Structures are given as C-alpha cells and as structure tokens.
Amino acid sequence: MSPRFPLKKSLRAVLLAVSLPALAITAYTGAAVAAAPAAAQAAQQGNIIISADQAKKLAASGAKIIDLRPAKDYAAGHIPGAINLPWIKFNQREVDGVRNEFASDEVIERELAAAGLSYDDTLVIYENSALPGRAYVVFDYAGFKKVHVLDGGVGAWKEKLSTEAVTPQPSAFKLSQKKEIRVDKKFVEGKVGKAGVTIIDGRDEEAYLDGHIPGAKNLPAPKLLTAERTLKPQSALTQVLADKQINPDDEIVSYCGSGVYAANNYLALRNQGYRNVAFYDASWDEWSRDPKAGQSVAYDNYTFDVTGTQTTAGSKSGVPQFINIDELKKATDDKKAVIVDVRAPADYDWGHIPNSVNVFWDTTLNADRTLKSAAELDKIYKAAGVTPDKRVIIYARGGYQLTHTYTALSLLGYKNIDFFTGKFEGWKSK
C-alpha cells in the first residue's frame, strides 16, 4: 500500500507547520471603517421586504421605484416609472484582490444625486430576488430611513412591464446623514469567541468547510429564499435562526467571501427585526490573507499519495518568503520565475498581476474534497507552465488558498516557492 499524507481535523495547524515556518507577516488592513457600527441603534427594523401589492400602494403615494439591475435588463422591461440605478455603481469590482467593497463616498453621493434622490424620499428598490443586499447596505449606510425591498424582485411584478426609460431630475444630494454599518478586520478579531457575539458566514457550506473565521456559524444566504426567489416565510426563517442559535439579542457580524451574501444576510436579519447587526464588507477576501488571524477548516479527510515525491521545499533561503512589491515586479519579467494566481478564473479574468498564470486552487481537489493524485496535479500545473525548475511565486488572497497550494507543490517536489499576498497596483485584464 502506498504511504498517505494525512491532513485531518487540525488541518490548518498542519499546513502552517509545513508551509509557514517562522514567518512574520504584516496583515492587510483593507479600507478604514469605524470601530463599531451605528447599525446597533438602527431606526428601521422589520417590514423592509414588502409584497408587490404593498409596493403599488407606496408608488401611488409618491414612493420612488428604483431598478437596481444592469441597464440592458432595465431597457428590456422594468416596473413602470422605475429609475434605473444599477447596484454595481455603488461598488468597486476588485481592488488588490478584495472584491465588492463600497465605492467612495464621493461616488455614492454622485450616483444618488444623479438619480434625483433625497432623504425625504420613500424608496422601493428591486433587483431579481428578495435580497438585493449590496444595494440595501449602501442605502442604509447613506442614512435613508424609508427603504423597502420588493419581495421576489422584478419577477414578483405580475403586471405589464415598461420599456420607457425614466430620466430623473438630478438632486443636490449630500451624504449628510450617513451612519457607519461596516466593521473592519480588527473589530472582528476582537469579537471572536466573545459571549453574546455571533459571527455568521453567508457562503455555501462547501466554501465554509474549506475555511472560515473561528467560531463562525454557516448561514448560506441563498437558502433564505424560495424557488421563486422570494423570502421564506418569517416563521420558517425564525426557526432556521433558532436552530443555528443566531439570537436576536446577540451582536451579529455578517461576512461571506466578498460581501455579497454578507449583505444579503444583513438585509434578511434586519427584516427579521435584529437590531445589532454589523457588516464586514471586506469579508473572507481580507481575512484569509492573514494566517495569523485564525482560520478554521472542517475536512473529514484530506490525503495525498506521496510515493516518489519529496516533502521538503522552500525558497533558496530554506523557507518560503513573503516577497515585497519591488521583488514581485522584477519577477513578472523573469523567465525563470512563474507567478501562480490561485484565485477563481472569473477573478483572474477581471484583473491580475501581469504575466501571471491562473491555477484555481479548487481544481486540485476531488469531488469529495481530497487532494488529487500526484500525476493529476503534475499535469494541472505543467499545463499552466508551472514546473519544478522555476521559482514559483504563489499569489492568493492569503491564508488557506496559499498554504493549500504550497503544500501541494511541495509534495510534488517543488523546492523554490515564495509568496505574495499584499496589494498590487497595476492589475490588468486578461
């Protein structure tokens, strides 16, 4: 029988022992946000998500209808009288590996003014489901007091849609009543393991099991919706939250991979009447960059056949190094080096380090989340131009993706491996 390389319940400790010996890393700090959210005392609670009939009554009373979908979808058909304000305008697609964070206050202010909005307005916003969270958190942050969401999105509107565009009269809107609902990594670190605090991870279960903030409870945002993309009945949601011991009196921190599902859960909890909910915008993209922040994983089995491979690897100094931006830039033109970006292909396509190659870390796993064979891994890496004779620089958002890839390559016999997890100004599209 071939020897196996077991990595079981304390996987993170094993990976870090193998791959990050005696290394110090400066944590990525991300965007500056307030230490504690104003959402703890938010005025608007419950009755946020409303039916189509309720939306019609509000519109008849003068409420403004906001279509958050892309312009092409709006043009194809929208609720009559709706103003098109795509939610993506409130976000930065990706900056240095962190996705979907808020745009600047200047951008948010400009977009709200262009849509002709004011704090006196009652708003009904809609997209394609009951949880257009990324837009809702911006309106909440901006300080709007009367924001409602159409349950089920545009699909819930059974009357005829319009193709007549609405051109709003711009307003003089200023962010004079904004409140900080976001929290940063330092804030979340201080909440891990604290009584009366619940951290919820909005990603699907598989992503959660691959790695999550210690103590976080998994609440996949899509599972809060019905097949028709309406919100599940309040009684059903109350039961789900009770089963997971997510209590209304707790301080809640909502995060996911990039802030989308975190925002959806934020909206759902606010609609349930939860008063103390914080939004960790940078989410796992930021947290996973820093191995010292703590990451829990939950694999029942994670094995690798090491027959014919070597388990000793590292850079020329004997251990892998976290290189700085100047050294990384030199490596982009070094024919004897290869930068391996292990993020998802969609993220790589949006923007990546020049001359880097993409080997999505998840493709190295079997369906049962065990590591593929040495032959399969060798084929995957060589197809991307990653070979043992080159210096390999792994780029990831950090944490588990980084240590996973290092472990796989080191087991294959790669000896010259370094890391880059910091910011990089100069991304380019594929």
Question: How sure is the predictor about 5, in pLDDT bands with cuts at 50, 70 and 90?
Answer: very low
Per-residue pLDDT at 425 exceeds 70 = no
Per-residue pLDDT at 68 exceeds 80 = yes
Residue from 234, 379, 365, 345 nearest 301 by CA: 365
Question: How sure is the predictor about 424, in pLDDT bands with cuts at 50, 70 and 90?
Answer: low
- Kindly report, residue by residue over 145-161, the tens digit of the pLDDT: 999 999 999 999 999 99
Res 198: pLDDT: 98
Per-residue pLDDT at 43 exceeds 50 = no
Res 11: pLDDT: 37
Pinpoint the alpha helices (H) of 26-87: 52-60, 71-76
Q: How far, in Å, CA of 356 to CA of 351, rounded?
A: 11
- Kindly report, residue by residue over 116-142, the tens digit of the pLDDT: 999 999 999 999 999 999 999 999 999
Sequence-distant contacts of 11-14: CB under 8 A, at least 24 apart: 11/297, 11/299, 11/302, 12/211, 12/295, 12/296, 12/297, 12/400, 12/403
Res 396: pLDDT: 80
- Give me the domains of the chain, ranges plus CATH numbers: 44-156 (3.40.250.10), 182-293 (3.40.250.10), 321-420 (3.40.250.10)
Between 38 and 91, the higher pLDDT residue: 91
In terms of residues, how long is the chain? Answer: 430
- Kindly report, residue by residue over 290-343, the tens digit of the pLDDT: 656 666 654 333 343 444 333 333 455 557 888 888 899 999 989 999 999 998
User: What residue type is assigned to position 101 of the chain?
Assistant: E
How would you class 410 by CB atoms within 10 Å of its CB: exposed for 0-12, middle for 13-18, buried for 19 or more? buried
CB atoms within 10 A of CB 157: 20
Question: How sure is the predictor about 100, in pLDDT bands with cuts at 50, 70 and 90?
Answer: low
Res 91: pLDDT: 85
Per-residue pLDDT at 19 exceeds 90 = no
Question: How sure is the predictor about 29, in pLDDT bands with cuts at 50, 70 and 90?
Answer: very low
- Kindly report, residue by residue over 213-234, the tens digit of the pLDDT: 999 999 999 999 999 999 999 8
Q: Which residue has the tokens 């309406």?
A: 230
User: What residue type is assigned to position 195 of the chain?
Assistant: A
Q: How far apart are the first and last CA of the chain?
A: 44
SS3 93: strand
SS3 382: helix
- Kindly report, residue by residue over 160-196, the tens digit of the pLDDT: 999 999 999 999 999 999 999 999 999 999 999 999 9
Helices (H) and strands (E) in the chain, counts: 14, 15
Least confident of 27-31, 92-96, 349-353, 385-389: 27-31
- Kindly report, residue by residue over 388-407, the tens digit of the pLDDT: 999 999 998 656 778 889 98
Between 206 and 50, the higher pLDDT residue: 50
Res 99: pLDDT: 74
Tokens of 120: 């006196």
Least confident of 90-99, 241-250, 262-271, 411-420: 90-99
Cβ 270 vs Cβ 44: under 8 Å: yes
Question: How sure is the predictor about 14, in pLDDT bands with cuts at 50, 70 and 90?
Answer: very low
Tokens of 263: 């925002």
Q: How far, in Å, CA of 40 to CA of 63, rounded?
A: 27
What sign has the CA pseudo-torsion 273, 278, 284, 285?
positive
Percentage with pLDDT > 70 across the chain: 78
Question: How sure is the predictor about 346, in pLDDT bands with cuts at 50, 70 and 90?
Answer: confident
Q: How far, in Å, CA of 130 to CA of 156, rounded?
A: 9
Q: How far, in Å, CA of 238 to CA of 240, rounded?
A: 6
Tokens of 306: 């090491």
CB atoms within 10 A of CB 323: 18
